[in-house]
Homo-oligomer: A and B are copies of this chain.
Amino acid sequence: MNDYDFELEFTVRDYELDTQGVVNNAVYQNYLEHARHEFLKHIGLNFNELHDNGTDAVVHKTELEYKRPLMGDEKFVVRMRAEQEGNVRFVFYQDIYKLPDNELALKGKVTAVFMTNGRPIRPPQEVKDAMKRAGRGS
């Protein structure tokens, strides 16, 4: 349960810093979103194509614990796994570690629901198949 299925490396960009000289809190959600979409691509799903086909993965809830601030010029990695929860929900566990020392910077849990025409749906078969390939499908 504690392992990760995917990781993506980033470098802090100066425009992401605020007056305190640290990455602004909202920007972490950008990092996590980008990592989720790259993860979906990695298992064969494309967020933009799903959208064009009328299905959106909609974030329902985010819980973020800020452990250590990311600073200018730092490198870090988002490590993550996804799990189906109940019939319609996916939970993404996404943690950020500073590189090269692997200090935990953020602990995140993002709950998403697949929707068509504004209603939650059971995950499309292609999503289930992809999750199975990633070893996490039900």
Contact = CB atoms under 8 A, between A and B. Distances in A.
Given A58-B66, A73-B46, A14 B29 contact: no
Interface range for A: 35 or more
A48 B29 contact: no
A19 interface: yes
A138 interface: no
A14 B19 contact: yes
A62 B64 contact: yes
A21 interface: yes
A132 interface: no
Contacts of A47: 14, 72
A63 B66 contact: no
Interface stretch (A30-38, A89-97, A122-130): A30-38
Interface of A: 13-15, 17-21, 24-27, 29-30, 33-34, 37, 41, 46-48, 51, 56, 58-66, 69, 72-73
